[in-house]
Each structure stands twice: as C-alpha cells, then as structure tokens.
Structure 1
Amino acid sequence: MTFEQDVQEYANKAHANAWRIALKPDEPALVSSFLSRSMYRGLRDVIQNHVTPSTAVMVRGIFTHQTPKVLLQSRSQSCEIADLMLVRQHFYPSRRNRTTGHALLLQAKKCPQPQTGSVAGGTQECQFELYRDWSPFEGTTRLPKGPPGSNSWDFRQGGLITQATAATCSEYLTVFDKHAFSTVAANPQWRASVVKGPAFPQLAGNYPQNCTWSAGGCPTPTSSASAGVMCLDDFGTVFREFFNGRRGRSFTSGISSGADHWSIFVNMMLQISARPNGDYVYTSKNQGVIAGMRGRNLAFAEAIPSLLHSIDDEVDAFLENPGSTFDMTNRMLKLVRSRLHGQRQNLEEHPQRPAPPDSIDMPEQPSLGHIPLLLVTTVGEEPPTV
C-alpha cells in the first residue's frame, strides 16, 4: 500500500479501538486511542517501511488531560490551545547540520461530515479567533502567562510574521462521529485487524478516502465562526505532507528565550512531555533558575526530549521483546556526545566567549502541562520523504 493508505488504516484502527473501549467515545477518547502505547508503534512501523533502512525512526504518543488553556487579549473567556499537537524533528549525525523541526496544532471536532459546522459562541468562537488571527494571547492554565521576558505569547512576533505564516501552525481536525470500524482486543493492539462497522456506509459517503480522520486549513482572515471550517483532506494525505515538511510551521529546536515565541512554545511542550513529573529538572530560586535542566547544557538541549522519549519507548519494547534493540537511543546518545564535544572544542578555540548557561530558564508556574502530543523523530544523513 502507499504511505497515505497505511496512515489511513492506522487512523481507522485507532478509531475502531476507541469504539471498542467506549460505547460512544468523545474527542479526548479518540485522540487518546490514536496516541496510546498499544497503537503508536504501528505508526512507527508504517514510517520505517517507507524510508531508507539507514534512517532511524521513533514515534511516541503522549496523551494527557493537562492541556494548556489560553486567553486572547480581546476576550474574557479562555480556551484550550489544541486537542493534539504533531511534532516532527530530524537530527543529522554530523553536528555541522542543524536539527530541523516543524509542528502542527490540531483542534478536533466529532462530525458526521468533514466540516465543523458553526463554531460561534463560547469557547469555540474564542478558539476560532485564535486560529484565524493568532493575535497575542496569555497562558491562563498549565502554561506561563508568556515566555521569559514577556507578559504574553505572540506567534507573529509583533507583526514581523504574517498572519498567513502564523496560521500554518494550526488546523481543524474532524473525526467521524459514528461506529465506522470494529476491532477486537489484541496484544499489541495495532496488529489487530479491523472490519467495517455499522456506520461504514455513512463514512464512505462523506469522508474522503474512507478515512475516519480529516483535516483542513486554518480559518481565513475574513471568515466567520458561524460558517465553520471545511476539513477535506484525509489524514493520510495530511500526515504525509506533515512528515515531508509541507504542512505545519517550522520551529528552532532547543531555544527557550527570545522573540521567537512559537519555537519557545514547541520546545516547552517537548520538555514537559519528556518528563511530566519533572524528575530531570531542578529549581534554584537563589540562582534565578526555575525548572532548569539538571546537568544538561543549552548546546544540545534540543536533543534531550527525543533522547528521553527514546529511552522510555525502547525500554518498554525490550520488556515486551528481549530481542529488540536500542538503536534510536544509541543514535541520540551519540548526537548528544557529539554536540558536547563540539561545544568544548569551540570554547577551547574561543576562550573569550562565555560558556552557555547550564540550564534552561523556565517561568515559574504552579502546574505546567502539555498538549496531547505525537512526536516523530528521525536520524539520518538527510531528512527522509515518503
């Protein structure tokens, strides 16, 4: 099958699994099934089967109910920033090539057809305006009010970034709201077969490529919430374009301060997702450091979240199958060593330059959280395409 067809099948399996678990799954249940440990290794195998054998692939799903809420400065009501976040990173073995990354926020709606219908009123309208304009906003729950040095988040960098460019970071996602496919319990679940469910004829008549997930572009500048959003691209096409770097918005890995609030936000979500309980960070108010990375250096901070996710994922795989390898973890460790060596060499050659800080400063926040997240990481000489 093509890459798109394999991803469509994965989305349908995840959809069927959600209906196996719950009589009528809501949006969080559908996203949770898509990101579940029993499923996401199937998506990793899909990708691995379509890239060169020399490319290492990691896929990691991290579901949480701690989704951050934000408030547009023109509004009085907060809304969740997204139901799902896709993050793609590619690491080069050589430290001469900078890590590339891009991410995409998705707001999910259960719908009988691939269109949201009216989203006017309440938090739905607030989120529509957020995705349409990307005006400055404040974190209200599980997110700092703004990044370091700012009282708000601004993904447009004070107007330096156009609305069209900012809008590439987010889309609406429609998920078929009925029982389109059925499956049985299996171990692992992603290997289970699926059959047509009672509502499959309705799915086939409405959703593109018989895929239970579809997505669409961000609201246009002149659009209204009452008109809703069309989501006419099947998820197989969406994910292929995302994997190839043609969907979503690019970010700079590893940075935690400066004017690029979008990159800071994505890196913050990755850092929190890698260790939600904070066991790899420390706090020292006397030194002005809040939730700094324990013993890590900013020079290779970009690699730490993927390294930690690799360790967790491959330990789990090893416990299930002692014959499994730690290829991705070893590659990520090699990357970190290379960056550390390069930094030391640079300091020896340029001793007048001050050493980078030993930590990443994070704004103080009683309880941080991250968006339910799908992280796709590859390591190789060139970013693979499918």
Structure 2
Amino acid sequence: MKTGDPELMREINRFHILDLVRRHGPISRVEICSRADLSSTTVSAITGALIEDGIIEPVSVGGIHEPTRGRPRVMLQLNPEAARVVGLRVGPHGILVAVTNFRGDVLASLELPVRVRRQPVPVVADLAEDAVRRAVVEAGLTLEKIDSVCASLPGMVEYGTGLVRVSPIFSARDTTFGEALSSRLGVPTIVESDANALALAEHWFGSCRDIADFAVVSLEQAIGLGILHGGQLFRGVHGLSHDIGSMVLGTRPDGSLLRLVDLASENAVLAGFEADPMLRDATSAGLGLRHAVDRLARVGAGGAEAVAVRGVVERAGRAIGIAVANVVTLFAPPRIVLSGSLLHLGDCLVEAIHRGFEEAVAEPLARSVSIVVDPPRDAARLGQGAAAIALCELYGSPWNTTGPVRPT
C-alpha cells in the first residue's frame, strides 16, 4: 500500500462520507464537509458518484432553505432500495429472522421456536432456510432481491473462514454452517458471533451511535465479547470472535480451573436452581430462565430460600463483574454494554455485577469507564444485529468497494 495513493485516499474519503450519511442522514453536503474535514469539491464529486450508483439519494427538506438562493436545502440520505439483507440469529431455543433494507429498517421479522441444540447441523440449516424464505416472502421480496444473509450464533466463529469453531448450540466443532445455508438459499452467507453482531448493532442503531470505541458483553449460554475500535469490529486471527466464557477466575478446592462459564452462563445459573422440581421441565421447554426469574420474584427478601436463590444470582453477577474488570484492564474502553437474556434476572444480577466490577477494577479505570445495561432485545432487534453485519459487508472498507456489489 502506498501512503499517497490517490485512489486509496479517494476510497477512504468515500467510506467516511458514506458512514456520515448513514449515521447522521439526512445530512447536507456542507455538514459533511465540516464533519469529514474535506473540501466542498471532494464532497461534491464523491456524493455525486454515490447518487449515480444509487447508494445515496437527495431529499428536499421543507422549510429549510439555502441562505443565498431561497431554495429548499438538499439533504442526503441512504437509498433504502440500494440493497436488502437478511439477519438470522440462531439460538438454543429458536431461530430469529429480520429482513432489512440498506438503511437497516426492518421490513419483516419472524421467530421460530425450536430446540436447536437437539438437532443435527443439516436439520438446523433446513429450518433456517425455511425461516429465511418465509420472512423474505412476508417482506414482499424474492430471494433474488436479497444481496446477502448473515447468521449469528453464540460461541467462537471465524469470520474469515466461516467456521463455527465451538458453539453451545452445536455438538460438533468446526461446523461449516454458513456454507450449508448458502448452498440451500443460493445467496452469499456470512457467519458471525452474537456478541459481534450485538456490538455493531449498538453502534449503528443503539446506545453507542455517539462513540467509535466500546465493548459489548453478551450474557447468554455463551459469554461473548464484541469490541469496536475506531468504529470497526476487532477480530482475532482468521477473524475469530471472542468468547470470554473460558476466562479463568480461580481454582476449585481440587485444583481444577474455575472459569466464567462455570459460574455465570445461563446453564450455570439454572444449575443453581436444580432443587426446584419444575426446573427440568421448564428448561426442556426453553423456559428455564423465565422460571428462574419468576422464582427470584417469589422468594422475596427473607428466609433461607431467598438467601439460596439470590446467592445463585449474586454469585453469577460477581463473576461477570470481575470478568468485565479484566476486559477493562486489557482494553480500557470508555463504555461497556451488557446485553443478553441473563439480564432478565434484573436488579439482583446487575447490582452484583457492579459490586464485582468495583471490587476488581483498578481505580483510575473505574473513573474512566461507564457500564450500560441494555435490556434484552425482541426478535426484530436481534435479527437486526445480524443484518448489521451483512450491511457492513456491503458498505465495505476503504480498501474495497463501499457500496452494494451489484451483479454484472
């Protein structure tokens, strides 16, 4: 790569302009010049090309006029028809699908309750295919109109190779789930971790639109970590996602290692309620966590049962807080977002997380980092997280195309 390569600089500017339109649109060319620190000539040339390619579109804003011409000001926004993608979220107890346009607006969503963990990978791929096809039809589209699909799931995923290295929903390791789904749909398919999808969704649609550096901790059956740095997802070798459930927090009396997943995953919390005779049936029906939440609400604040039940939740929260402190020690992000189904356990869990964090984090970092609790998402928002990954692929980077790849 040559430092002064004009074409590279044009692509970098093109990327930044498109990202500004996405984040702040409708936006004027004057504001783009100010935010991107680019000349009006450069902005006019690049936005003109983006309009010609059908990636952005001009809109006249009523009541706002150009100061010297008296005409309505022309603002720029993403062209929603530039591309359409499907976000597919595969979890232990169901499949969620969201079809979105190029702006990320949800055109149709679908939730399919199914015990994914009991099914072989080909069966899961068949179920996912059916769910995608149905959602696309409900959006008034055909598969030929879909530019790409992104499937997100808990665990460690190699974005570069499409391999699901390990996931609590698949018994086998190194699963080529994306390839299985792509062959069924005939649409390019990306596979990503839940945590990375949630992180990008927070940056595009959620509480972190205002910052480019933060981390998301996903608290479900796996405990994932998504990190955004400079507005880009941070991935490991081969695009490997981060699962911090294996983080070592101590040792057991027998000398074996005690990991975060042993204390704070959804399965670990439910195991703490195993004396409850209804738990097994509730867990088999995918309602184990809901049953735990109800039990927590019933026991109140006093008595031996309340102490035992709250102890399970508080132990999990403290472990999460210590793990979050370790993440802060390594990366020092200005914001940590907690997300995932475990947050249904409410204040008892969240307060324990904060106590564990304050206990373990270094004092200078404690003053620099805020912890934000993101309420558990509905089906459309979870699917939208996966769709954000697919859209990001279409936006591209400064080193390749920033717009939808159109068939030749």
| TM-score interval, smaller chain | under 0.3
Which has the greater radius of gyration?
Answer: 2
TM-score, structure 1 length as denominator?
0.27
Richer in helix (by share): 2
